[in-house]
Structure 1
Amino acid sequence: MDAYFAVKKPSALRASSEKKSDTNKNKKPYARQSGRDETNITKPNKVGELSTRELNKLVLSTLSHESNPVTHSDIYERTEHIVSAATGHQRGDGRANGPQKTYFEHRTKKLSEQKVAAAGNASSEPQVMRNVRIYINGYLSNTTDIEMKRVVVRAGGDVLLTPSGATHILTSQQLSGSKTHKLTAKSRNHVHVVKPEWVTDSIKTGKKLKEMDYAVIKSTNAQSLTSMLRKQ
């Protein structure tokens, strides 16, 4: 290597100092860092600073406490439970006009029974949503679809799995052009596409409010009195 590159050999003093430092490192490979005071180290007090082992120990030692997330969780009450009607065997639904009910009819009936049972004694509350069939389409602001289903059922309404047959469609987002055309032009019955606040405000007032004030799709056919007077 000396034939290609100029190598500068270390002096005797430098070589002895490096050898001494290497010997000290072998004796104390994890030497204490300078400027670190280990007497001021405190144990973690907050739950977020605990290790996984300490957290598990804390949870197991407080199983009887009401704040324990394992033994006193309310996730079961906040979950919509659906019992599947599948049997594991394929079978036909029968003819369209036959006496047999389809899978969706059985499913809808079963879900309605479960929702009524989960809603509790709904007969004591005002049945504002009677004869109202609601289909939830997409995002709902300030609420969830599970909570909205409970509110509608307790008020006497029905929640459908498909938009066909629905009288009201709840959504908080603007619909696409094709979906708007499908709901307004191709539907046999007039469907109100409203915000979820229409349901909550109607229940608060005790009567069905006008869908026009909560409409997501603004009708261009109906003219207001002000616009008619301006044209004259």
Structure 2
Amino acid sequence: MDSPRNLKSSRIIEICRLCPVIPVLEVEQIEQATPLAQALIAGRLRVLEVTLRTDCALSAISEMSRVPNAIVGAGTLRTPEDVRAAKQAGASFGVSPGATDRLLDACEETGLPLLPGAASASEVMTLLEKGYTAQKFFPAEASGGRAALRSFGGPLPLVKFCPTGGITPEKATHYLELGNVMCVGGSWIAPTSLLRSGNWAEIETRARHASQLGGQASC
């Protein structure tokens, strides 16, 4: 049973433990949404983060959420308006680069599970005080990388992380060896070049490889 402190992150922890890698996706054309989700799921990655960085991102979340077995979240949440729009589009969870009180309040009010971003010990502690035991470590490589997360593990053992930002397949393996890392976020699985060319086979191949990283069971 979850402790009161862990309640805000319970669903996020369940989601993050489904796969070792969450693909971070920037969908430019709505026509890309369904075949992209299908390719990733065929490659055994079903937890997908669509960043709110393009005009069709919310529509893409709606389309991808209809694909069987897909768990689609909205990334780059920055404002309460982003949260409400993501929830209305059908997002199952949210991801933010950082955290503000207004953003956290909006997620709690709408019932959208949030993976909030933190980059320092003070930010991690502030979120922990608010009940968030699962956090996004961002930007991971620029904020000290694996060494920083390993250092957090001693004084902050209750917090589990999804590091994102500058992570490659090789670096992902090293992150996933840490006891306080649930999964990693990565944009290498479906980069813009593969989306624009419609190379769904290569995306599926990359997803399948990513699903086997860290010795975790793929979803």
Q: Give the strand-richer structure, 1 or 2.
A: 2
TM more than 0.5: no
TM-score, normalised with respect to structure 1:
0.25
Q: Give the helix-richer structure, 1 or 2.
A: 2
